[in-house]
Structure 1
Amino acid sequence: MSELPAAALPDGPVLGADEAGKGPVIGPMVAAAIRTDPAVLPDDVDDSKRLSPARRASIATSLRSDPAIDVGFGIVEVEEIDDPETDMNSLTVAAQVRALAAIACEGDLAVVDAGDVIAERFGDRVTAGLAEREITVETIAEHGADDTYPIVSAASVLAKVERDRRVGAIAAEYTGFGDVGSGYPSDPNTREFLQTYVEEHGAVPACARRSWSTCADLLDAAAQSDLSSF
């Protein structure tokens, strides 16, 4: 794995990758990758967390419509997240590899936001995952790369907007159970949505990550409520 300051990236196309939705209890994790010359990126591209939803959407539209920019996505669905044989670090690697593989060219430089406490290990795993697909890249993995490298900031915006679009589709599917909210366990709207669904069906909805403690707690509470009715 390489280490290179953002300002010292080579001229020409570079890959960037980041993901959104690692922590929510509802919906998939979405990784996005972008391949372009960083010089063509919008001047106001920034870490998605510092942009308003409207600005993120505008930047994402601009990125996806620019013929000089290639975009790829890697989706990890709820069923895969709930698989007891895997873990979130491995799934984050898998998501970024899927997104990068959609657009990477042999010999590219990839800059990725590290989803592991050991950034170098994460980068090595991304490199290895692409090598398994017969794609050779050089990888820079850093914590906070979405704050340091505009190419990764752009990927973070794409990932967030796509993740939000998918949560919006989930909300449209479950209109009878209240506001889905952001999908994060800390969101009271999300918790109320899940509680309403569990109270009616005795199970969490298919869009929820059953392995998350939020779901387990709601199911336990429902079970105790059923027992107390006898």
Structure 2
Amino acid sequence: MPFGVDEAGKGPALGSMFAAAVYLEEPDELPDGIRDSKRLAPERREELAAILQSDDRVAVGIAEITPARIDAPETDMNSLAVAAHAEAIEGAADDLKRAADTTDSLSGLCDACDTDAERFARRVTDACSLEALSVDARHGADDDSPLVGAASIVAKVERDAHVAALADEYGEIGSGYPGDSTTREFLASYVDEHGDLPPFARESWSTCEDALAAAEQTGLEQF
């Protein structure tokens, strides 16, 4: 399986979702310590991501799914996960072409973002513009496959950098996940001050809808 694909940020109420594809002809040549990104400290994830992206033998593709795409009424998160995986694979293929390597036939493994892993693999294959592409998908692939683990690291580091950039501009926003009290407090405070959601909010998420509703209720109670 010369490439692995995984995503980060499917569930947050704030910010983009990212997917990464990592290609390496000989997976045994991956740096030591590769595993599912959730099992690594942030500093170690950043170190490994930098090693992967600086290694000429490794091709990396990254896809970003913005809140605007997530909120579009004609789509859903499963379809967007498919699109993210496909776009990341195409990005890795472009990286291979720039390195003058062959992309005539590519095969790899995705961490399945659907209850039906085979269906997810078929949908990713159909969404890719590449010919001679073979995609497999499994649940828990980020634990079982070093290449998928590598992709999970790159995707998570991209998502973390995205959140850090938002925090630099807007103040502490937490992780962006609905269960994070800092995220909920940021949303409540922002809506209270501006009367609207921040531009990087997933407006269709119930967490964001609830923040707006709470602010509107507070406003009504003041009259």
Fold shared, TM-score > 0.5 on shorter chain: yes
Deviation at 1:31, TM superposition (A): 0.2
- 1:14-163 matches, within 5 Å, as 14-36=2-24, 37-104=26-93, 105-130=103-128, 133-163=129-159
Name the SS for the 2:92 alignment partner.
coil
Name the SS for the 2:48 alignment partner.
helix
Structure 2: stretches of 5+ with no match in the other structure: 94-102
Provide Cα deviations, 1:110-146, integer angstroms capped at 9, x if missing partner: 110000000000000011111xx14331111000100
Deviation at 1:33, TM superposition (A): 0.5
Provide Cα deviations, 1:170-224, integer angstroms capped at 9, x if missing partner: 111103xxx2111111111111111110000111100110000001111111111
The 8 Å contact of residues 127 and 136 in structure 1, kept in 2 or not, is answered as no
Q: Which of 187, 210, 229 does residue 222 from structure 2 map onto?
A: 229
TM-score, with length taken from structure 2: 0.93
- Between the two proteins, the alignment pairs up a number of residues equal to 213
Alignment partners' CA distance in 2, 1:39 and 1:97: 24
- 1:210-229 matches, within 5 Å, as 210-229=203-222
Alignment partners' CA distance in 1, 2:29 and 2:133: 22
Alignment partners' CA distance in 1, 2:65 and 2:159: 11
Partner of residue 5, structure 1: none
Equivalent AA in structure 2 for residue 155 of structure 1 = A
Show structure 1 runs of 4+ deviating over 6 A: none
TM-score, with length taken from structure 1: 0.91
Deviation at 1:227, TM superposition (A): 1.0
Q: Percent identity?
A: 51
Name the SS for the 1:102 alignment partner.
helix
The 8 Å contact of residues 90 and 130 in structure 2, kept in 1 or not, is answered as no
- Aligned-pair RMSD on alpha carbons? 0.9
Q: After the TM superposition, which of the residue ranges 98-107 and 28-37 deviates more from structure 2?
A: 98-107
